[in-house]
Amino acid sequence: MSQPAGKRTVIGASPPRIEGREKVTGAATYVDDMQFGPSLLHGALKRSPIAHGRIVRIDASRARALPGVRVVVTGEDFPGLTGLYLKDRRIFALDRVRSVGEAVAGVAADTPEIAAQALDLIEVEYEELPGVFDPEYGASPEAPIIHPELASYEVVPFVFPQPGTNISNWFKVRKGDMAQGWAEADLVYEHKYRVPHVQHVPLETHVCVAQQNVNGKITLWSSSQSPFAQRNLIAKALHIDHSRLRVITPYVGGGFGSKAGVSMEGAAVALAMHAKGRPVKLRMTREEEFHTTFVRQGLVAILKMGMTKDGRITAMHNRFYWDGGASTEYGVNITRAAGYSGTGPYYVPNIHVDSYCVYTNHPVGGAMRGFGMPEIHFGIEQHIDEMAHRLGLDPVEVRLKNCLKDGDETLTGMPMHPTGLSECIRKAAAAINWGQETVSYSSTKRHGKGLAAMWKAPAMPPNPGSSALVRLNEDGTATVSIGGVDIGQGALTAMAQFAAEGIGIRVEDVRVNTVDTDYSPYEWQTVASRLTWSMGNAVLRAADAARTQVLQAVAEAWDEDISDLDIVDGQVISYRSEESIPLKNICIDGVQRKDGTFVGGPVVAQGRFMPDYVTPLDPETGQGPRAVVHFTTGCQAVEVEVDTETGEVQVLKIVSAYDVGKAINPELVRTQMEGGAVQGLSTALLEGLILDHGVPRNPNFTDYRIATAVDAPLETENIIVEVPQDDGPFGARGVGEHPMVPTAPAIANAIYNAVGVRLDSMPLTSEKVWAALQNNDI
């Protein structure tokens, strides 16, 4: 779990390469030259080859002297701390390194080859320190302290670091009487589950270009889910005015949470500040993407549950040890989300939850699709299945008995809003013919069925804001400006639908802009499956305000009551007089009154939305009137075929049923369900970052497998349930992350149903299944 201290190492070259670094192709360089000109510089980062150690000395003199090198910077040039919830991270390491791959210096050079050569010329001397590579050990008093300065870090008020330890957040839930809960139970069962680190593997790696002009204005072109958060965090870390930093986000080539917040973008800005006006491009290689940008945190979950013989849950005591990595600036909120969701979507009267975010010397953990929910549900949903089997009960009926219904109190004391969870469970089970055995035609292959329920709230601060602008153009079309990013989830399409519906024009007549922080209205981040709900509310309010401007002007000009007017398919109509006029005739020039004067003018409207009803939770009990804005709930049911000779698992069918409030675009909702299920299958059966004392052993697509068309289920069925959300636009709430949450436990339960082996660690590889079968004599 730890390694000896005191070893000194002088590093002249970059960290040992597990696989050769990718080369920038000539075609890519040509495109860059076309957009930014021949002055484009290429950035690269010198990275730590050790997991934990003090920086004794950095000598960059030889790199600075290399012809073609224009900039070399280190932590001494930019010592400021950054972080979304906990400021514990530097752009370049200053006094110590805490993970393999942490940046210690940056260079910008005329070509990628010169930049790579310059990295080899930077000498770094380290004094190695003991490492922490397991979160349970990291949380213990025996573990070496990774962040001795934890007490001095700036932190948001709803995160609770434990100075003098490696615990950067401890979220607690205390409810009911645990002794009574255990006494009422006919069965008490405790077990440990493990989930590994997972990489998001977007097809487009992290990439950005930064440039500072002669007036000191810096522009960052960034493939980002968080343009405004990037501007805020980088500006604060580099001590520059927000008005001096502009972030432009074009279309993003995949995110899944990896491009939320800041990972390497600050380094590009730092290099550009010393590049004398030349643009600097920084692009992560695939190897760097695997372990130097955000990864999904690992988890050790110890679950204890009590249940009566008729299947009623009486108590839960759950402990979550999150492997947060070298920095937990984002991961502390994953820990919090796991805490207030720590029972799964069930009513439990007696609850004790401890969710710990633990510093380790692993890669930095951050947001990934599901934000902690796939990890905790992997254990919770298997645990419920196992207890049902031990009591001779139907797992579906146990879930229906205990799942949250309208008005039930959640573990934090919040009344559950109207939810279609029971309907989701019933429909998913029916779609795989639950209770009917499927017979295999092979003597070595067995079929099994499994099911798992889920819930997830938008994990965010209590007051994240959204805003939108709507402008009507001379031809009656509308331009919508937003601060959210389309990362493939269809955000721009949904916002166009909201604007069209709100104004009264065709969706084809709406254009939604991509993000430029100098001109786009504010949006907190594109995370938490919140854009349809939060940004949708802002767009709908802006569209309604634009519509009102038009109708007020027409009402005055025509001397009519505004309640008698409407806009339908771009025509302003009067239900009283039956007059009409094309919107395009009046949305810029206004409407002529009877006396020949005009009223109205260019239509520009704004809308904003911020939840103002989320309440704080007691730090000792986790109790409060409203912990979150809402929960999206759902269920997945799967059918698998297991080869008893090889352990190979083939997923035959996945059924997804989710309560989305209102499906704004049903086809987009179904594609989110299908894509999330396949990504969930991939992490369930194939994915896991192999770390050997902090060193990644599979940072490539040869050794880190992701699901392809060959692995996808033979059949998918996607069921939309609609129980409206009171504060959602048209009753809608998000569903982007949720289909990935229950897939792994549903598959694990199906494997158990097929061959009687219970796997408590991911991924559920054929090797693990085969080994378990040998022990079971199947």
Confidence band, pLDDT 50/70/90 cuts, at residue 30: very low
Neighbours of 772 (CB within 10 A): 19
Structure tokens given for 183: 């006494």
Kindly indicate the confidence band of residue 438, based on its pLDDT and cuts at 50, 70 and 90. Answer: confident
Question: pLDDT band at 22, cuts 50/70/90?
Answer: very low
CATH architecture of 20-28+464-609: 2-Layer Sandwich (3.30)
pTM above 0.85, yes or no: yes
Residue 601: pLDDT above 70? yes
pLDDT (average), residues 441-470: 97
Tens of pLDDT, residues 556-566: 999 999 999 99
What strand order describes the sheet that includes 53-59? 8-11, 123-128, 53-59, 96-97
Ranges of beta strands (E only) in 622-704 are 632-643, 649-659, 691-692, 695-696
CA distance 547 to 524: 26
Torsion 559-562-566-570 (CA) sign: positive
Residue 382 three-state SS: helix
The pLDDT tens digits of the residues spanning 520-544 come to 999 999 999 999 999 999 999 999 9
Query: What is the structure's pLDDT at 624?
Result: 98
C-beta separation of 642 from 648 below 8 A: yes
pLDDT tens-digit map of 155-206: 999 999 999 999 999 999 999 999 999 999 999 999 999 999 999 999 999 9
Q: What amino acid occupies position 413?
A: G
Q: Are 350 and 178 in contact (CB under 8 A)?
A: yes
Average pLDDT over residues 731-753: 98
CATH of domain 298-460+615-776: 3.30.365.10
Q: Give me the residue spans of the domains in the chain.
A: 20-28+464-609, 36-129+205-254+259-284, 298-460+615-776
Q: What does the alpha-carbon distance between residue 539 and residue 607 come to, in Å, rounded to a whole number?
A: 6
pLDDT higher than threshold 60 for residue 26: no
How many CA atoms does the CB half-sphere of 284 hold within 13 Å? Answer: 29
Strands of 632-643's sheet in order across: 445-456, 632-643, 649-659, 715-721
Over the stretch 71-91, which tens digit does the pLDDT of each residue have?
999 999 999 999 999 999 999
Per-residue pLDDT at 278 exceeds 60 = yes
| Cβ within 8 Å of residue 694, ≥6 positions away | 50, 51, 52, 99, 100, 131, 133, 361, 362
For the chain, give the percent of residues with pLDDT over 90.
Answer: 94
C-beta neighbour count of 566 within 10 angstroms: 15
Task: For residue 509, give the nearest of 517, 501, 519, 521 by alpha carbon.
Answer: 501
Between 776 and 126, where is the model more confident? 126
Q: Residue with structure tokens 């579906």?
A: 396
Three state DSSP letters for 677-690: HHHHHHHHHCCCCC
Residue 580's pLDDT is 97
Task: Collapse the DSSP code of 468 into the 3-class scheme (helix H, G, I; strand E, B; otherwise coil) and give the result.
Answer: strand
The band of 446, judged by pLDDT with boundaries at 50, 70 and 90, is: very high
Peptide bond into 582 cis (omega under 30): no
For residue 330, is pLDDT > 80?
yes
The per-residue pLDDT for 32 is 57
Distance CA 480, CA 469 (A): 6
DSSP letters along 270-326, please?
Answer: HHHTTTTT--EEEE--HHHHHHHS-EEPEEEEEEEEEE-TTS-EEEEEEEEEEEEES
Asked if the domains 20-28+464-609 and 298-460+615-776 are classified in one and the same CATH topology, the answer is yes
Residue 3 pLDDT grade (very low, low, confident, very high; cuts 50, 70, 90): very low
Amino acid 440: pLDDT: 83
Residue 512 has phi, psi (to 5 degrees) of -110, 125
CA 54 vs CA 60, 99, 149: distances in Å: 17, 12, 14
* Lowest mean pLDDT segment, chosen from 1-10, 287-296, 384-393, 533-542: 1-10
Active site residue 737: yes
Helical (H) or strand (E) element with 125 = strand 123-128
Predicted confidence (pLDDT) at residue 23 exceeds the cutoff of 90: no
> The domain 36-129+205-254+259-284 belongs to what CATH superfamily?
Aldehyde oxidase/xanthine dehydrogenase, a/b hammerhead (3.90.1170.50)
Which among 128, 149, 737, 767 is annotated as catalytic? 737
Name residues whose C-beta falls within 8 Å of residue 656's C-beta, 6 or more positions apart in sequence: 428, 634, 635, 636, 673, 674, 676, 677, 716, 717, 718, 719, 739
Fill in the amino acid letter for 306.
G
pLDDT mean across residues, the chain: 95
- The answer to whether residue 777 scores a pLDDT higher than 80 is no
